[in-house]
Amino acid sequence: MKAFMLGWEFPPFISGGLGTACYGLTKAMGQLGMQIAFVLPKAGISRYTGPVKLMSAEGSVEIKEASEFENVSFHEIISPLRPYVDSSRHEAYSRQRGSYRERNARYIRSWHSKSAEQGENYPNDMAGQVHRYATKVMEIATVEDFDLIHAHDWMTYPAGIAVAKSSGKPFVVHVHSTEFDRSGEHVNQSIYDIERQGMHSADRVITVSNYTRNIIVGRYGVAPEKVEVVYNGVEHDTCSDSGSSHALPEKTDKIVLFLGRITMQKGPEYFLAAAKKVLEKMDDVKFIMAGDGDMTHRMVEYAAYLGIGHRVLFTRFLRGADVDRAYQMADLYVMPSVSEPFGITPLEALKHNVPVLISKQSGIAEVLTHALKVDFWDIDQMANKIAAVLKFPLLRRTLREDGHSEVYKFRWEDAAAKIKGIYEKILNGS
C-alpha cells in the first residue's frame, strides 16, 4: 500500500502544528510498513542536516531520508507556500476610535474586525503559488506509483483533486485546520471554496477531532458518514524532561507560558487580559509569550497598555532546545485558543512535566482528562485557575503528575494504524 502524500511543511521548517503532525504521522506510517511519497514545497536551498536531509531541487528530485523514514521518499518543489506571513511584513493594523479609552473587552473586540484581520493571514499571490504547486505535483505523479492520494490542509487540495482526476485513484483529505479556525466569521471566500471543493471531492475526510468534524459537517455540508476522526499524537522518544544539557537561569518568580503563533486563532489577547488580573493578586509571576505572528506587535502594545509590559517577555519564534528550555522553566502552560482543531502543545508541555490550562474550544479538550479547562473568553476564570495553580503546590503537582502519565496514551503509532485502516476500507470499496 503506497500513499501519494501532499503537505506544505515538515520539520525543521515549520510555522505551526501541521509540520509537527506530518512528521510524527509520516514516520509512524512508514514504520508500519506503509510506503509514502511525500511532496513538499520549499522556499529555497536547505542547509539543514537533521533526521531528514532536505536536498533542494526543482521538481521531482527525491530527498534523502534517514533510516527511520526508510519507507518514505520525499519530493521537493521550490515554492514559498506557507500558511501565515511573518508579522514583520504586516505591522500596520486598524483600531476603532477610542479603543484605548474604553474597557478591555471592547479594546480586544476591535482587533477582531474584518479590516484588521482579513488579508493579513496569507501572502500575496497565494492563488498563483497554489496553482504552481499543483502543476508540479502533477508532474511528479506521472513518475510515481501509488494507491491513493492523501492531502494535508487546503493549499494541497487543488493538487490532490487534479492527481485524483488524472489517475483515477482514491483521494483523502486530512483537515488540521479550517478557514473558520484561522479567520473566525470573516473567512476568505476563495479559501473556503477551495476547502469545500476538496472535502466534497474526497473519498474520505480525516479530521483531528470531533470539534473539527462538527465544523466540517455543519459549515461545509459534508456528509457525516464520510468524515472520520483521527487524533494526533506526540513524540515520546525525544523528550528532554529529564533535564537539559544547558543550565537554566535561577528563578525568583513563577513562570506562566504561552507558546504558539501569535494570531487571532490562538487567543493571545485573552492570555494577556488574564495575566493582568493575576498580577493584581500576585506580584511574583512572569508571563512568557513564545511565538510569532501577525498580532505580535499589537500584543507588545497591549501589554504596555495594560501596564504589565515589565512582567511579559516576548521571545519571538523558538525552536529545538529553546522550546525545551521554555517548557522546563514554566510552572504552567496556557493554551487560550479561540478555535483549536486539536492542540499538540499541551501534550508537549505535559511531556515536560508542566501542568496545562486549555481552552474548551479545542479538540484536545475532548480527550485530555488531567488538565484545567476554561472558555477562551472567560478571562476571570482563566485568571482564577492560573492563580490557583501557582498558589497551591499540591494542585500543581497533581496536574503535573497525572497529566504526564496521561500523555502516553497519545501515540503517533495509534494514529497511523487508524489511518491504515481507513486506507484499507477505501481500497476495498467500503
Residue 314's beta-bridge partner residues? 289
Q: What are phi and psi of 411, to 5 degrees?
A: -125, 135
- Do residue 94 and residue 163 come from a single domain? no
pLDDT at 46: 43
- Do residue 198 and residue 314 come from a single domain? no
Q: How many CB atoms within 10 Å of residue 128?
A: 10
- Evaluated on CA atoms 218, 220, 225, 231, the torsion sign reads negative
CB distance 47 to 56 below 8 Å? no
> In this structure, what CATH number is given to the domain that contains residue 182?
3.40.50.2000
- Do residue 59 and residue 185 come from a single domain? yes
CB distance 279 to 311 below 8 Å? yes
- Do residue 79 and residue 95 come from a single domain? no
- Do residue 337 and residue 227 come from a single domain? no
Residue 52 domain boundaries: 2-84+123-233+411-427
- Do residue 98 and residue 217 come from a single domain? no
Task: Report if residue 238 sits inside a domain.
Answer: no
Task: Report if residue 243 sits inside a domain.
Answer: no
Report which residue type is found at 241. Answer: D
Task: Report if residue 266 sits inside a domain.
Answer: yes
- Do residue 65 and residue 98 come from a single domain? no
Each residue of 83-126: pLDDT tens digit? 554 433 333 323 333 333 344 444 444 444 433 344 444 556 77
Task: Report if residue 178 sits inside a domain.
Answer: yes
Report which residue type is found at 166. Answer: S
Report which residue type is found at 366. Answer: E
Intervals of the chain under pLDDT 70: 11-16, 43-67, 80-124, 237-250
Q: Give the count of domains, the chain.
A: 3
- Do residue 405 and residue 415 come from a single domain? no
Alpha helices in 226-378 (DSSP H): 268-281, 296-306, 321-329, 345-351
Q: Which of 198, 223, 210, 245 is nearest to 342 (CA)?
A: 210
- Do residue 313 and residue 392 come from a single domain? yes
- Do residue 133 and residue 214 come from a single domain? yes
Task: Give the global pTM.
Answer: 0.84
- Do residue 66 and residue 154 come from a single domain? yes
Each residue of 156-208: pLDDT tens digit? 999 999 999 999 999 999 999 999 999 999 999 999 999 999 999 999 999 99
Task: Report if residue 239 sits inside a domain.
Answer: no
- Do residue 15 and residue 102 come from a single domain? no
Task: Report if residue 246 sits inside a domain.
Answer: no
Q: How far apart are CA 118 and CA 132, in angstroms?
A: 24
- Evaluated on CA atoms 260, 265, 269, 273, the torsion sign reads negative
pLDDT at 278: 98
Task: Report if residue 303 sits inside a domain.
Answer: yes
Task: Report if residue 91 sits inside a domain.
Answer: yes
